[in-house]
Amino acid sequence: MKLYKIFFYMVFSIFLLISAHDAFAKVKIVSSVPNFGDIAEEIGGDKVEVKSLSKGYQDPHFVDAKPSLILSLNRADLLLYTGLELELGWLPPLITGARNSKILTGNIGNLDCSTLIPNILEMPTTKVDRSMGDIHPGGNPHYMLDPRNGIPIAKGIADRLKEIDPENASFYDERLGDFVRRLNEKIKEWDEKLVPYKETEIVTYHKSWVYFSDWAGFEEVGYVEPKPGIPPSPSYVAELIRKLQKDKIRLIIAESYYPQKVPALIAEKTGASFLVLPSSVGVREGINTYFDLFDAIVGEVTSKLASITTKAGDFQDSN
Ligand SMILES: [Zn+2]
C-alpha cells in the first residue's frame, strides 16, 4: 500500500473514532416541556443533546402523543418532566412505547422535577378525584412560573448529569454556579420592577399563575375556569362578571392556548384589561430561554399595570 493511502486511512479512522466517541459521549436529554430542556442546556452545554417533546405554545396538559415522539424517548439517557400528573394524559403511553429501562420511574434517567421543589402549592388535604374534572389532583404543577424555582430545578438536573456522566462533573458544577448567579441577579431585577404592584388583584383563566402570584405578591380573586380543566358555564361567567364589577378587578390573565373569547367578553363587560401572557420557553419568537420568559412576563404585566394605574389616575383627576 502506498504511503499516502496508509496516511489517508489513518486520518479517516481517527476521524471516525472521534465522531463516534463524540456522539456516544453526549448525554441525551428529553424534556416533556421546554422549560426544563432550556435549563438542562444551560447546565449541560455541549456535553448534552436536548429535545423537548412539546412546544411552548401547546397546552402542557393535553399534548398530542404522536408516535414519532417515542423515538427520542427510546434513545434518551435522562427524561425530565413536571410530575404532579400534569403530563398524565400523554407521557405514560409514550414511555411505555419507548421500551427504554433507563427512563423508567425509580431509575437514574427518570427525573420528576416536582420532587425538587420545596414548596408545592395547593397540596390536597383530602383525596381529589380526577374524574370530577380537576386536573391538579396532586397539587399545583405550574411551579416553573416562579423563577425562584429555576434554582432547585437546575441543581437537581446538575446532580443527575453528574451521576450519569461523572467524568464531566466539574464542568456541570461550574455551569450550575454560573446559571444560579445569573438567575439570582435577574430575580432581583424582576422583583424591583414588580414592587410597585404588590397586592394587585387579578383573575386568571386557569389556575396556572398561583406560583407567579405568590412571588409577585398578587392576589388571585377568581378564575375563568370554575375548576382546573373545567370550562365555564354561562351562569358561572355571569357570576364572575358581577364579582369583577363589584370588586373593581382590573386585570385578567390567560395563556395563548386557552379560548380567548370568554375572558375578552368578561374584560369588555367589566372594563378590566385582558392580557395574554407567555408561560413557557418557545411560546413565541424571541422567548428562547427561561430568562427571556420572565423578561417578557414581568415586562408585559408591569407595563399593562402602569397603563391601568395612569388611566385610573387620569379618571380621579378629572373628577
Ligand atoms: Zn394546570
Calculate how far, in angstroms, residue 18's C-alpha sits from the geometric centre of ligand 1. 45
Calculate how far, in angstroms, residue 241's C-alpha sits from the geometric centre of ligand 1. 23
Amino acid identity of residue 212, one-letter, is: F
Say if CB 23 and CB 31 are below 8 A apart.
no
Calculate how far, in angstroms, residue 22's C-alpha sits from the geometric centre of ligand 1. 39
Calculate how far, in angstroms, residue 155's C-alpha sits from the geometric centre of ligand 1. 24
Calculate how far, in angstroms, residue 209's C-alpha sits from the geometric centre of ligand 1. 9
Mention every residue, 6+ apart, whose C-beta is less than 8 A from residue 168: 47, 161, 162
Q: Where are the alpha helices (DSSP H) in 142-273?
A: 150-164, 169-194, 210-216, 234-247, 261-270
Q: What angle do CA 158, 161, 162 make, to 5 degrees?
A: 85
Calculate how far, in angstroms, residue 206's C-alpha sits from the geometric centre of ligand 1. 7
d(CA 304, CA 216): 15
φ/ψ bin of 128: left (φ > 0), alpha (ψ from -120 to 50), beta (otherwise): beta
**pLDDT (tens digit per residue) in 287-296:** 999 999 999 9
Q: 3-class DSSP state for residue 38?
A: helix
**What is the average pLDDT across 123-144?**
82
**pLDDT (tens digit per residue) in 135-188:** 888 899 999 999 999 999 999 999 999 999 999 999 999 999 999 999 999 999
Calculate how far, in angstroms, residue 61's C-alpha sits from the geometric centre of ligand 1. 7
Which residues make up the CATH 3.40.50.1980 domain(s) of the chain?
3-189, 195-317
Cell of 71: 423515538
* Annotation: CATH topology of 3-189: Rossmann fold (3.40.50)
Please name which of 274, 276, 256, 275 lies closest in space to residue 265, comparing C-alpha atoms: 274
CATH of 195-317 given 3.40.50.1980, 3.40.640.10, 3.90.1300.10, 3.40.50.300: 3.40.50.1980
| Helices then strands, each counted (H, E), the chain | 10, 8
**pLDDT (tens digit per residue) in 89-107:** 999 999 999 999 999 999 9
Calculate how far, in angstroms, residue 210's C-alpha sits from the geometric centre of ligand 1. 10
